Homo-oligomer: A and B are copies of this chain.
Amino acid sequence: MSQTRKITYREALKEAIREALTENDKVFLMGEDVGRYGGAFAVSKGLLEEFSEERIMDVPLSESGFVGAGIGAAMAGLKPIVEVMTVNFGLLAMDQVVNNAATMLHMSGGQINVPVVIRMSCGIGKQLAAQHSHSWEPYYAHVPGLRVISIGTHEDARGVLQAALQSPDPVVIFEYTSMLNMEGELPEETIKVDIESAKIRREGTDISIITYGAAVNKCMEAAEELKVEGIEAEVLDLRVLRPLDEAAFLASVSRTHRALIVEDAWRSVSVSSEVSARITEKAFYELDVPVKRVCGAEVPIPYPLHLEDASVPQKKDIVEVVKKMIRP
């Protein structure tokens, strides 16, 4: 393996944006407080000074308005990176994303592309309570016409944006606030990641843990703990939530014969329900035990730490369920 360097998830995201701005002058970043404030989570800190007001645009609180404007700018030849400060405000722009960005190409009979990239900070874990702790991956993953990416690793934090900017179709990217300060290793050379396939983050033979986003880490840690008990878990990071890389998880399950899906989002009508349904449909006879899910509790996320923790899957929940699946 080549040389590596230490980098935080935040810094990896910033490098990717900087690179995009440097390499293509049609790229610009727009969003609430991306400039003068330095980004709500300091991801874009310093970029306004490095580039200009034209490339780093602070916008008013008008989610539907500026997401719609980003869509329009993309239709007109630019490459906007639209930051919705947090996924929680995304519902205000949902109509623009679904009815315009995702629909335009098909509705216009293939004439009009919308190559917009929408980034959203998301996830639970900062005690921000019910209105600020949403996991809307399932909503976006439901919509044909969108390419939906969840960044669960440093590699993807650094590499996904470049691929997204090359897509002629709208790409929605989920970034995880709770991971921003996490350090990771990246190779010194340029990273190329694709935004079409899932990725095995850890190989294993006993069970496939299928997951994405901030849960990837929890699953990796759970896998380490399980190893001690002699259980080799494979951890598959879905990465692309739409269109799902079905082949990847079916292949994994066909090797391990057991599948657990782990997701922070509310359990009902989620990405994990879809993955479970597809495994049942296409790999039923490969299964040694029923597919299981460990998901977010179905509750508006409460503020206190102990209740917040209880609202999302924790390492111990994952370990426990895996053990039960393997040694019932």
Whether A102 contacts B300 in the complex (CB less than 8 A), given A142-B266, A269-B138, comes out as yes
B290 touches A142 (CB 8 A): no
Interface residue? A149 (CB, 8 A): no
Selected interface stretch from A28-36, A89-97, A163-171, A200-208: A89-97
Q: How far is the CA of A273 from the CA of B292 in the complex (A)?
A: 13
Determine which of B129, B269, B281 lies in contact with A107 in the assembled complex, contact meaning CB atoms within 8 Å.
B129
Per-position contact with B for A270-307: 1 when CB-CB < 8 Å, else 0?
11111011001100110001111100001110100000
A103 within 8 Å of B (CB atoms): yes
Q: Is the CB of A99 within 8 A of B131?
A: yes
Give CA–CA (A300, B131) in the complex, Å: 30
Q: Is A115 an interface residue (CB 8 A)?
A: no
Contacts of A134 in B (CB 8 A): 98
Is A300 a contact of B106 with CB atoms below 8 Å?
A: yes
Given contacts A266-B143, A269-B270, contact A277 B293 (CB under 8 A): yes
Chain B residues positioned under 8 Å from A91 (CB to CB): 91, 94-95, 98-99
Partner of A292, one of B94, B274, B276, B281: B281
CB-CB contacts below 8 Å: A9-68 with B: 64
Least CB distance, A23 to chain B, in whole angstroms:
32
Mark out the residues of chain A between 139 and 176 whose CB falls within 8 Å of any chain B CB in the assembled complex.
139, 141-145
Residues of B within 8 A of A145 (CB): 300
Q: Does A79 contact B (CB under 8 A)?
A: no
Residues of B within 8 A of A289 (CB): 284
Complex Cα distance, B142 from A289, in Å, reads 26
Asked if A268 is at the interface of the complex by the 8 Å CB criterion, the answer is: yes
Partner of A92, one of B95, B130, B244, B290: B95
Q: Chain B contacts of A143 at CB under 8 A?
A: 266
Chain B residues with CB below 8 A from A244, complex form: 268
Residue A119 interfacial (CB < 8 Å)? no
Contact B284 A106 (CB under 8 A): no
Taking a contact as CB atoms under 8 Å apart, the answer to whether A107 and B131 are in contact is: yes
Does residue A242 face the partner (Cβ distance < 8 Å to B)?
yes
Chain A 102-113: CB-based contact to B (< 8 A → 1; otherwise 0):
110011000000
**Which chain B residue has the least Cβ–Cβ distance from A259?**
B280
Contact A290 B299 (CB under 8 A): no
Nearest opposing residue in chain B for A241, CB measure: B269
Contact A302 B141, beta carbon cutoff 8 Å: no
Determine the residue in chain B with the shortest Cβ distance to A137.
B269
In the complex, chain B residues whose CB is within 8 Å of the CB of A102: 300
A65 CB to nearest B CB, Å: 13
- Pull 29 A–B residue pairs with CB atoms less than 8 Å apart, ordered by A: A88-B99, A91-B94, A91-B95, A91-B98, A91-B99, A94-B94, A99-B130, A103-B130, A103-B300, A106-B299, A106-B302, A107-B130, A107-B131, A138-B142, A139-B139, A142-B266, A142-B270, A143-B266, A144-B298, A144-B300, A268-B274, A269-B269, A269-B270, A270-B274, A273-B273, A277-B291, A280-B291, A281-B290, A281-B292
